[in-house]
Structure 1
Amino acid sequence: MTISMSNQTAVTEFILLGFPGLQSNFFLPVSLTMFVAYIVSLIANSTVIILIILREQLHHPMYIIIANLALSDLLFDTITLPKIISKYWFGAGSISFNWCFFQLFCVHSLGSLDSFIIMLMAVDRYVAICKPLRYHSIISNRLVTLLCYIVWLFAVLIGLAITLNAGLIPYCGPNRAKNCFCSNATVIVLSCVDVSLERRKIFIIAMCVHLFPLTVIILSYILIIRVVHLSANNETWQKAFYTCTTHLFVIGLYFIPRLFLYSTNQIPLFLDVDINVFILCLYTFIPHLANPIIFCLRTKEIRNILVQMFKRICLRCEHRS
């Protein structure tokens, strides 16, 4: 849908193509997979947030950080997944211009936010393991809450800068976005002017937003593994090493494909569009499913709370029956 404007046409909606090469007989399996992923993410992240808010014994710095990560992932999935699910279920692939740019703003804000929150988590673990006697004097609920407010604000500013960078250029014709949701990389190429400068600006921002937290995260975990290896017995060392490597696997799944796609967008290396979208979905939605399990539900305190709640529910059901 377009509106004529002085020999040009202003785009008023975009068409999300999802996986452009996907055959129609795979629409249902893909939509069901995304639907299940969204429901699992919704339940897992909501459970984490509710438990941390309601249970006073979870009012600790680490859990405050985890609650912010769960909220970020929940918002991201809620803003992006329902639309692409409706495309494959009902053929409703169109998205209005304004909603597309709101989605773009949220995608880049929340994506940046995840990087900073995971960095805070790594720093918290470093202080807890490497400086345990000084942990409570260095890290407090008040400090962590303030830092979370700051990174939310910083992420909003980053998302706003990226959205303005894409929104201030004209769109006068092509409106078929080769992605499952609106992002800068897939929307900006639909402009009817040269966007080389805009793409370089976004690449620089993206590298700063992701490489700095990634550097801090890797350094923190290297120091953690070194300290545990030097000071702990073999059993404790193996447990700590397993925990760190599990965390680093999820972190790597979040950062490495993202940085790879950002880089390939700047060099003459052309990936198949469907592979490009698949990689994007892989590093976007899989960590949102894994984060509640890896960072939260595997912890002893939350497992005990869930077991107690489950037992109470079972007892109530027995009494009623």
Structure 2
Amino acid sequence: YCSYYTYTIYYFIILGFPGLDPRYYGLVSTLLFFTYMAIVVGNIFILVFVGVERYLHKPTYLIFFHMAMNDLLFGTVTLPKMISRYWRDDKIISFGACFTQMYFVHSLGAIQSLLLLIMSLDRFIAVCFPLKYPVLLTNNTVSMACGLSWIGTFLRMMAVIYHALTLPYCNSNIIVQCYCDHTSVTKLGCGEDVKYVQTVAVGLAMFSLLLPLSFILFSFISIFVVVFRIGNAEGRSKTLSTCTPQLVICCLYYMPRCFVYLANYIGFSFSLDIRILLILLYSLLPCAVNPIIYCFKTKYIKDILMKRLKNAKVGMKLHNNA
């Protein structure tokens, strides 16, 4: 046990991938940079497109709007420092900046889970109770639900981060991860309360993850039951296609996480580098891929986008002919 007054950590060192050869730092930073560009361009496009197109001012697309905002913020909170780590070998992050990053990482992750719950509720009511859909899910209802998800999570996460701040930090200041997360940071704490702080945080994380997942599974099982009761194949296909984007997005978010947790539970261990890579993949890949799913798996967005592109081509031809 170390005395808080004798040893105090003022900054952390982000180790990143422990086994990565420095020769590949440039390649990794370039890959992370293009990932960040894909997240920024894709999600800003969705934010502007949904905001400008009045036809998309409907509950489903308002949820997409909030999802895009969440993905953009998550990428911005994590990737610039990761890129700097490998581009300029800038490994140092201040104590305050690390806890701020940790706050937003976990807040945005929990908000994402709640937005997926709202998204599944939207499809559940649309398919299972179509006549009640216009009454139960209005723009105001969805905006209020999404807003409460943001506000409630940000307030709740303050308590989690404050709880972590009560620990004295006097062990190693090396974070074996690519960004500051609760587990990696609290491992560096001292005293008997470390295990308690970690247990409380893991319990809240599981609650934030599993409660929405339970309803999401229930909603999609109910949707499949309704779909397979539809008499003709065309009706089944049309109804199911309206849920495809939401189903793919939920799978991208939950399946890798469940795989990692299940692997740990049954005793299957990964190397440290592989574990960090898996965490990065399930954290950042959906942020980059979701805008593509919105555009090409959602009929109305795809139709409007194709119409705008055709109009732009016609306008260019007329201008060239003139």
Q: Hey, what does 1:70 align to over in structure 2?
A: 68
CA, structure 1 residues 20+232, in 2 after alignment: closer, same or farther (shift >3 Å)?
farther
Shift of 1:249: 4.3
Q: Hey, what does 1:144 align to over in structure 2?
A: 142
Q: How does 1:102-181 map to 2 (within 5 A)?
A: 102-181=100-179
Q: Hey, what does 1:227 align to over in structure 2?
A: 226
Q: Could you tell which deviates more after superposition, 137-146 or 285-294?
A: 285-294
CA, structure 1 residues 196+259, in 2 after alignment: closer, same or farther (shift >3 Å)?
farther
Q: Hey, what does 2:46 align to over in structure 1?
A: 48
What percent identity do the matched residue pairs reach? 36
TM-score w.r.t. length of structure 2: 0.90
- CA distance in structure 2 between the aligned counterparts of 1:61 and 1:51, rounded to whole angstroms: 15
What amino acid sits opposite 1:284 in the alignment?
S
Conserved? CA contact 1:112–1:158, under 8 Å: no
What amino acid sits opposite 1:214 in the alignment?
L
Q: Secondary structure at the match of 1:10?
A: coil
Shift of 1:300: 2.1
- CA distance in structure 2 between the aligned counterparts of 1:265 and 1:157, rounded to whole angstroms: 30
Q: Secondary structure at the match of 1:14?
A: strand
Conserved? CA contact 2:294–2:301, under 8 Å: no
User: 1:185-209 CA deviation, whole Å, 9 max, x = no partner?
Assistant: 1111011224111111011101110
In the alignment, structure 1 segments of 5+ residues that lack a partner are none
Q: Hey, what does 1:9 align to over in structure 2?
A: 7
Conserved? CA contact 1:9–1:172, under 8 Å: yes
- CA distance in structure 2 between the aligned counterparts of 1:232 and 1:128, rounded to whole angstroms: 18
- CA distance in structure 1 between the aligned counterparts of 2:263 and 2:198, rounded to whole angstroms: 12
User: 1:157-200 CA deviation, whole Å, 9 max, x = no partner?
Assistant: 23212211221211124111111111101111011224111111
Q: Hey, what does 1:59 align to over in structure 2?
A: 57
Conserved? CA contact 1:79–1:103, under 8 Å: yes
Q: Hey, what does 1:201 align to over in structure 2?
A: 200
- CA distance in structure 2 between the aligned counterparts of 1:283 and 1:176, rounded to whole angstroms: 23
User: 1:74-132 CA deviation, whole Å, 9 max, x = no partner?
Assistant: 00001110110111111012111111111000001000000000110000011111111
Q: Hey, what does 2:85 align to over in structure 1?
A: 87
Shift of 1:15: 1.1
CA, structure 1 residues 152+25, in 2 after alignment: closer, same or farther (shift >3 Å)?
same
Shift of 1:270: 5.2
Shift of 1:240: 4.6
Shift of 1:306: 2.0
| Root-mean-square deviation over aligned CA pairs | 2.4
What amino acid sits opposite 2:277 in the alignment?
F
TM-score w.r.t. length of structure 1: 0.90
Conserved? CA contact 1:225–1:244, under 8 Å: no
In the alignment, structure 2 segments of 5+ residues that lack a partner are none
